[in-house]
Amino acid sequence: MNAPFHTSDADAAPSAAGTVADCPPLNLLIAAPRGFCAGVDRAIEIVEKALERYGAPVFVRHEIVHNKYVVEGLKAKGAIFVKELDEVPDDAPVVFSAHGVPKSIPAEARRRELLYVDATCPLVSKIHRQAERQIEKGRHIIFIGHEGHPEVIGTMGQVEPGQMTLVETIEDVDKLPFDSDEELSYLTQTTLSVDDTREVIQALEWRYPNISGPRAEDICYATSNRQAAVKELAHDCELVLVIGAPNSSNSLRLVEVSERLGTPAKLIQRATEIDLGWLEGVKTLGLTAGASAPEVLVREVVALLAQHRTIHEKEITATVEKMVFKLPRQLTE
C-alpha cells in the first residue's frame, strides 16, 4: 500500500522566486524499491569487512560499484581503487568489483599469490556459470549487453575469444552471420531495460527458432523492480529525477523507462546538480535511485527541494524486496 503524503519544509530558505510560502507546493512521488540492491550491499560490506580483517590499505580493482559517493566513502576508510592488478603490491589484499571480472584476473591473482576477495554479484556469477555450461554443450553464445560495460567484459571473459558474440540492438541481430540451424544460445547483462531486452530476444528467437535461452530471466530482480517502480509513478509526474552515475547501466535504464512513458527524466549524481529551472511548472515530481545509489542521497535531494518548495511526499511501492546475499567464507570464518 502506498504511504500517505506527508509534508516537509525543514531548513526552508528563500529561493530565486521568493520564500517557500510564495511557491506552489510540490507533490513528490518516491519510488520503492530504489537504491541499493543486495549485490551492492554485499560488495560494499565485503570491502568494509576486508578493511577490518586485513587493515588498510585494501586495494579494489575498478569501482566496487558505480557511485562516486560510495567510492569516496570507502577511500576515506582506507580502500585504494586501481584499474589493473599490476598496480597492486604483492603483499596487499585486493577485492574484485561487483560487476565481475574475466577469468584471467583471478588466474593472475593466483599466479602472483595475491590475497583476493571476489565481490562479484551472485546473480552475475550465475550468468558466468551459464556461459560455461553452454560452451560445454557446443553452443555459440549470443550475449545481449552494452559494449564496454564492466559486466559485459567480465562475462565475455569467461569463455575463449570467438565463443561469444555481443549484440545490443535488433539491428545487431539482423547482422549476425550464423545460419538458422546453428547451435546457439543467448544470455543477457543483468542491468538492461526489460522492454528493450524482450524485443531483442524476440528478434533472436524469430531468426533462430532453435536458439536456447536461460530457464529464468537474466535481468536481475533489482533492475526489474526499479524499472517497474518508475512505471508506477511516471505517468503521474511532469518530471522524474534519477539518482545515479552516468556510467551506471541500471540508472540510465530508469531514465529511459520514464522517457518511454512520455515523462521527461534527468539523471543526477547529487542534489547539487539539480537545476531549479527544471521544476518550473512541475506540480508532481518523481524521484528514484539506481541500484548503486545510497538512500542518503535520496534524502539529500528531498532536503534541497524542501528549501524551495513545500514538499508533499509519498512513496509509491511496486514491490517489497527481501533478497540478501551471503558474504564470502573467507571474511566470515
Which of 72, 87, 151, 333 is catalytic? The answer is 151
How many residues in the chain? 333
132 noted as active-site residue: no
Strands 6-8 and 311-317: antiparallel
d(CA 10, CA 2): 23
Beta strand segments in the chain, E:
6-8, 26-32, 58-61, 79-82, 94-96, 116-118, 140-144, 164-167, 184-188, 239-243, 265-268, 284-289, 311-317
Q: What type of residue is 144?
A: I
* C-alpha grid cell, residue 314: 509519498
Whether residue 242 contacts residue 285, with contact meaning beta carbons closer than 8 Å, is answered with no
Please provide residue 289's backbone torsions phi and psi, each rounded to the nearest 5 degrees. Answer: -145, 140
- What's CA 223's distance to the chain center, in Å? 7
**What nine digits make up the cell of 200?**
531483442
Q: Grid coordinates in use for 321?
A: 524486496
Contact 214, 244 (CB under 8 A): no
Active site residues: 151
